[in-house]
Amino acid sequence: MRWTPSSADNVMAQPLLELRGLRIAFDTDRGQIQPVQAVSFSIFPGQAMALVGESGCGKSVTALSILRLIPSPPGKVLDGQVLLQGRDLLQLSEKQMRSVRGKDIAMIFQEPMTSLNPVFTVGEQIVEAVKLHQRVDTRHARQIAEQAMHDVGIADPDKRLDEYPHRLSGGMRQRVMIAMALSCQPRLLIADEPTTALDVTIQAQILELLRNLRQERGMSILLITHDLGVVAGNADAVAVMYASKVVEYATVFDLFDSPQHPYTEGLFRAIPRLGRPGGRLATIAGTVPSPRRFPSGCKFHPRCPRMNGDPLCAQTEPALREVMPGHWAACHHVQGFAAKPITQPTIDFRRPAVPPVVEATQ
Amino acid sequence: MSAGAAPITVPPIDLDAAITASFWGRAIRDTFRNVGACIGLVWIVLLIIVAVLTPLLANTEPLIVKVNGKISWPMLRYLTPTDVILFILAAAVLIAAAFRRVSMGRRAMAVGAVLLITIPLAYIFVHPPVTVDWQEYRDLARAGRIQYELMAPLPYSANDYQRDDPSQVLQPPSRAHPLGTEANGGDVLSRMIHATRIALSIGLVSTGIAVIIGVAIGGLMGYFVGRIDILGMRLIEIFEAIPTLFLLITFVAFFGRSLMLIMVIIGLTTWTLEARFIRAEFLRLRKQDFVQAAIAGGLPLRSILFRHLLPNGIAPILVTSSFSIASAILLETYLSFLGLGPVDAPSWGQMLNQLLGVAGTFVWWIAIYPGLAIFLTVFAYNLLGEALRDALDPKLSR
């Protein structure tokens, strides 16, 4: 199925990255599993898009497959496209792909403690990355590295460049990883749970850093997280994944104001609130299904409070439909669901920059 | 009294320098905190010095001699290409060690370049006389025609047999022959000094060959896994089934007793251990975040393999290779003891071989001194290996 731009598309900006019906399979000893099924979303220049979901829902596999980092075998792409400004990354040769990695799309990982090579200094590692993607000599590359270290808020960057990773703290190493990613000026930064391994204050600093860098450079960010607080504070658009599929996709405001999918509703109920009388925290009944034994029909139906024995839920898997303009969801029990159109999910929305708080002067 | 108390001065602790060291800096420091490793290193360095300076330490030819008013350097005339290469290599290593500001890799490359240039030149230009007249200067001295001569500390070359002189055969240790003489009049200490070269080179060259093959095959297996891994594993199993000592005996029987052949065969049959270790390391490392991050950063395969995997996975190889060196030395010793070692070149094992009958009787100085040298060398490498293993294994050292 070829995608043809309609007149409406011409008016809108072109998305930087677009996933169309991505389906990924892994061959295992006990048959094939599909941790990512028909995943579609888009990221626009300067946009922060959050991919949310529980562990094992396929969000990391989705991110890795954008850079084609899925080990193959056993992994393979069954179907779908990953379009970077209209160019399908899945069709590129490995050599072409290498020039995309790091240069157009950079990635930072969850665990900063192990993301740096222990036998080389921080500077040597950044310089290597810079020299790879930009035709500069070592001295110039070092200046770029120093600037990048400065930009991510590392004091005394000249000195820090000559340090080995084991001398840096976790937050510092994550900053170095971000500096390394930024030094090649990518257009998209994939951040796979960038703050999960850090403590809360460092987490806030790193997120603020990412927010500032995005605003200054117009870089897009794909933020992978399971932390709805992080999503609320940073994302423009949100895709909620459950058991290999995107079940809801909307702007951050639409999603938090009027969640359409029962899974998203369940997630919000499970957030502890300050100042609300105690009692047990609401949970979603049941457990996340294993990719080996996905339920039939809607994958959420065994845990769904809306189902009420509806045979449709157990038999037919709902597609991701545009239930409201600019708001996609996949649930039979959304009002008038069957009549809603199936469209390529794109949300060209950036939240307004928060104006700095100014104290009122008398 | 306390009115003019001097301000307390705290000596600055150079904490920075203490923890700035690189991974290898720390590993080396931890290794040589171990007393055993230091003893092992001292012995091996001693052997290296002796091996390099062999012609200056034990030589029948005078270093400088003045005959009929003419000064000459007979020792220089008899230098072999090997002597010359070792001198230049040692000088290059010492000079490189002095340039502390240049990076380690660059210094190693410079030494390698010197070696590559020296080897062909030495073989082209250095031609020692084929036949040696051991008695030349001794006769001149006896005739009183030498006005001045400077001899090596031990004035006997390894192959300077004095079998025609019954007073020199099978002598117990004495002032002239500190460790006694052999059945054919060779000086035991001189032959042991000349044998250090074989002892060192057999271990280093054969293990070097084994490491290169093992790292190449094991590294490919560990990084590419799948079919390459399965094929490589079968290859390893085939090579592990080869009995090295019997293969060596067979090859020596058919192709002659050449040191080079022995080293190559030991190297070609013992790489499997190195391959297994590097495979396991690469399998572990390729899943690590920094390798994934390097791939995600678009770094080429060359960089992934040689900058990210190899330097992080080579540590266990250093440990195994020090044990491999020890076992290669022992293999050569077995072979020489059986009388199948390198022709004519003195080696410790070959000296022990004399006990099998040439000497006609048990001669304690031929048994103990070469035996002790073999024992100490193997022990030294094992001590180094153990200390390296402890230093590189964080679970054991902390």
B278 within a domain of the structure (yes/no): yes
Mean pLDDT over B321-343 rounds to 87
**Mutation site, B15, B289, B301, interface A, largest A CB count within 10 A:** B289
* B89 domain-assigned: no
Is B67 contained in some domain?
Answer: no
Residue for token pair 């457990």:
A287
Nearest chain B residue to A177, by CA: B293
Q: Closest Cα to residue B281, out of B398, B393, B384?
A: B393
Query: What is the pLDDT at residue B114?
Result: 93
Confidence at A4, pLDDT banded by 50, 70, 90:
very low
pLDDT score of A178 more than 60: yes
CA distance A19 to A82: 5
Q: Which of A22-36, A147-161, B23-37, B222-236 has the lowest mean pLDDT?
A: B23-37
DSSP type of residue A247: E
Express as a percent the part of chain B with pLDDT over 70. 91
Report yes or no on whether pTM surpasses 0.80.
Answer: no
Structurally, chain B folds into a number of domains equal to: 1
The beta-carbon neighbor of B298 closest among A103, A110, A114 is A103
CB atoms within 10 A of CB B349: 27
Name the pLDDT band for A359 (thresholds 50, 70, 90).
low
Task: Give the closest of B19, B296, B303 to A101, CB-based.
Answer: B296
- pLDDT tens readout for residues A65-81: 998 888 877 888 888 88
Q: Does a structural domain hold residue B382?
A: yes
Does A164 contact B20 at a Cβ distance shorter than 8 Å?
Answer: yes
For the record, the structure tokens of B111 come out as 């030494």
Q: Which residue of B has its CA nearest to A181?
A: B297
Taken in order A119, A122, A124, A125, the sign of the CA dihedral is positive
Predicted confidence (pLDDT) at residue B6 exceeds the cutoff of 60: no
CATH code for the domain of B206: 1.10.3720.10
Q: How far is CA B104 from CA B24, B79, B211, B250, in A?
A: 11, 32, 20, 42
Q: How many CB pairs under 8 A join A and B?
A: 80
Indicate yes or no: CB of B297 within 8 angstroms of CB of A101.
Answer: yes
So what's the pLDDT on residue B142?
82
Q: Which residues of B touch A99 (CB under 8 A)?
A: 298
Contacts of A116 in chain B (CB under 8 A): 290, 293
For residue B288, list chain A residues with Cβ-Cβ distance below 8 A.
Answer: 114
CA distances from A289 to A55, A64, A293, B258 (A): 11, 21, 7, 67
Establish whether this prediction's ipTM goes over 0.95: no
Contacts of B114 (CB under 8 A, 6+ apart): B88, B89, B92
* B147 within some domain: no
Asked if B129 reaches chain A (Cβ–Cβ under 8 Å), the answer is no
- Please report whether residue B125 resides in a domain: no
From the list A103, A117, A121, the residue facing B290 with the nearest CB is A117
Give the model's confidence band at B218: pLDDT under 50 very low, under 70 low, under 90 confident, else very high. very high
User: Does residue B28 sit at the A interface (CB-CB below 8 Å)?
Assistant: no
- Summarize pLDDT for B226-267 with one digit per residue, the tens: 889 999 999 999 999 999 889 999 998 888 888 889 999 999
B290: nearest CB among A101, A116, A133: A116
For residue A111, give the chain B residue with the closest CA. B289
Q: Which residue of A has its CA nearest to B308?
A: A117
At position B78, the amino acid (one-letter code) is: Y
- Read off the pLDDT of residues B135-163 as tens digits, 9 standing for 90 and up: 888 888 888 888 888 888 888 888 887 76
Has residue A3 got a pLDDT over 70? no
pLDDT single digits (tens) A230-271: 888 888 999 999 888 899 999 989 898 888 998 998 888 888
* Token pair in block for residue A322: 């545009």
**pLDDT attached to residue A281:** 76
Nearest CA in chain A to B311: A119
At B169-204, the pLDDT tens digits run: 788 888 888 888 887 778 889 989 999 998 899 999
Asked, for residue B263, whether it belongs to a domain, the answer is yes
- The one-letter amino acid code at A232 reads A
Kindly determine whether residue A102 and residue B19, on different chains, have CB atoms separated by under 8 Å: no
State residue B4's pLDDT score. Answer: 52
Q: Is residue B198 part of a domain?
A: yes
Residue A105 has pLDDT above 70, yes or no: yes
Checking if the pLDDT of A172 tops 60, the result is yes
* Residue from the list A98, A109, A115 with its beta carbon closest to the beta carbon of B300: A98
Question: What does the alpha-carbon distance between residue A138 and residue A9 come to, in Å, rounded to a whole number?
Answer: 44
Q: State the residue range of the domain holding B329.
A: 16-54+173-397
**Do the Cβ atoms of A109 and B303 come within 8 Å?**
no
Distance (Å) from the C-alpha of residue A261 to the closest C-alpha of chain B? 34
Q: Is the pLDDT of residue B51 over 90?
A: yes
State the smallest CA–CA distance between residue A182 and chain B in angstroms. 11
Q: Residue A1 pLDDT more than 70? A: no
